[in-house]
Structure formats: C-alpha cells, structure tokens
Structure 1
Amino acid sequence: MLPLITPASEVEATPIGAAKNTSMQVLIPPSAADNFIMRRITIKAGGSMPNHTNSVEHEQYVLSGSAEVGIGDKMYQAKQDDVLLIPAGVPHWYKASADEDYIFLCLIPNKKDIITLVDAS
C-alpha cells in the first residue's frame, strides 16, 4: 500500500501512446485503493488525445490550461476549475490550446477499463 500522502512530483509520468504530446501519472494506482484510481493527465500546448471510448465513466477536474473537449456529438471549451463527467461508452477527445498545457485530474472506478479508438472519418 502507498503512503497516505505522496508528492505528485515523485510519481512517474508515462506517455499515452495514441495521443500527441500527452502523458499520464497514476497518482493513486489500483493496488492502493479499493474503489477509485486517480490520474493526472498533461496534454502539452497544442497536443491532443484522439476520439475514443472507455468502458468506465470518468470524473475530471481541470487544474490548469484550456482545451477543446468533444463529448459525444458536442464540443466544449474546458478551462481551469471546470468539472467534466464523461459517461461510460461515450466517445470523447481533447485538443489543448496552442499557448498552454492542459492539465486535469481524472478519477475512474477501480475496475477493468476497455479503451476503444473511434474512427474519425
């Protein structure tokens, strides 16, 4: 089990393969908590994450920056202090603004998450 307090700076950031200039830190991993996983996602300025679905819902809190976020067939402007709910199975994508990184916390249930890329054409 992890300590109850862990400096985020000590958690390794790993690139997200299908995304452009995007990394993820698993701040609270599946092995540390029974119900939730906490991740911090950083999309560098101008970076993006492709349209995809997840088999679990996502609760997100924007720490800094701004981005266009597509959820289903709608596009939103997300910015610092916004809260997003991405329902399970709903396609979604992100494009960070050109001038600043988009950083957000993403909490998901501690269960298997199946990620499927959605064809943009």
Structure 2
Amino acid sequence: MSGEGSCGKVVRYSDVEAQPLPEDMATGAFVRWLIAERDGARNFYMRLFEVKPGGHIKAHYHPWEHEIFVLEGGGEVRIGGRWHRVEAGHAIFIPPNVEHEYKASESGLKFICVIPARPTAEEAGQPVRCD
C-alpha cells in the first residue's frame, strides 16, 4: 500500500527503483531514494543502499553528515583514517567533510542512510582529518 502527498508517504522499498551509482563513485552499488524532496521531505532524506558482494563505494566527502543503519550483510567502512568492520545491526555516524568509503563482504551490504536536506557544515576544500 502506498500513499503520497502532503499527508505523508508509505511505500515498500522494493517498489522504489534501484539506481546504480556512477562507475566513478562505486562498483556494484545501487541506491533507492525512499523519501526525498519530491515527497515533501524538507529536513531529511532517506536512502537505501545495496552493495553487491565484493562491491565498493569509493572514497568521498561532502558537507553533510550521514546516519546509517546496517540492515543486512556486512563489510567494512572507512571513516577518516580508520576502518571498521560492520554487519547487520550496526549504527554508523559519519560527520560532514570526513572522507569515507564502504566495502561489502561476500554476503553483500544493505543499509539505510539518512542525510539532511541541506549541508550541515561549510564545504571543505579537502577532507577533515579524522584518525
């Protein structure tokens, strides 16, 4: 069942198109924009990422934070200079302008990622050091 408009939205994730991330950003990774500006969201957007086994979202940074919850599978996430093993049930916080990347394990990696609708920091000319 799905309802949209000014009164909110309810949607099954599988009914939202999985869009491949560009090759310069990732290999074997897809995003579903579950809740976005087009739905009337003004403060936060919710995305579902699916990274195929052995897939990788390459190192990047930007002036907004991430709040992530791992739903299925596992892998590694690098935040600044430190790698962390993650699996279903882990929550992850990535501050703005801190370089980060993700690598899926043999089981793949599926996670919810919530981002603010607007930057939460000034854009940095280079990533913030965080070791």
Q: Same fold (TM over 0.5)?
A: yes
Aligned partner of 1:93 among 101, 108, 112: 101
Distance 2:64 2:119 in 1: 8
TM-score, structure 2 normalization: 0.81
Task: Provide the aligned C-alpha RMSD in A.
Answer: 2.1
Structure with greater strand share of residues: 1
Listed as ranges, the gaps of 5+ residues in structure 2 are none
Are positions 1:44 and 2:52 aligned together? yes
Q: Which residue of 2 aligns with 1:13?
A: 18
Structure 1 segments, 4+ long, off by >6 Å, are none
Counterpart AA for 1:110: A
Cα deviation digits, residues 21-58 of structure 1 (max 9, x gap): 00000000122211110000000000001110021000
Using the alignment, how far apart are the partners of 2:118 and 2:59 within structure 1? Answer: 22
Query: Quick one: distance in 1 between partners of 2:104 and 2:15?
Result: 25
Aligned to 2:111: 104
Structure 1: any 5+ residue segments left out of the alignment? none
**Higher-RCO chain (CA-CA 8 Å, sequence separation at least 6):** 1
Write the distance in 1 (CA, Å) between the matches of 2:58 and 2:9.
34
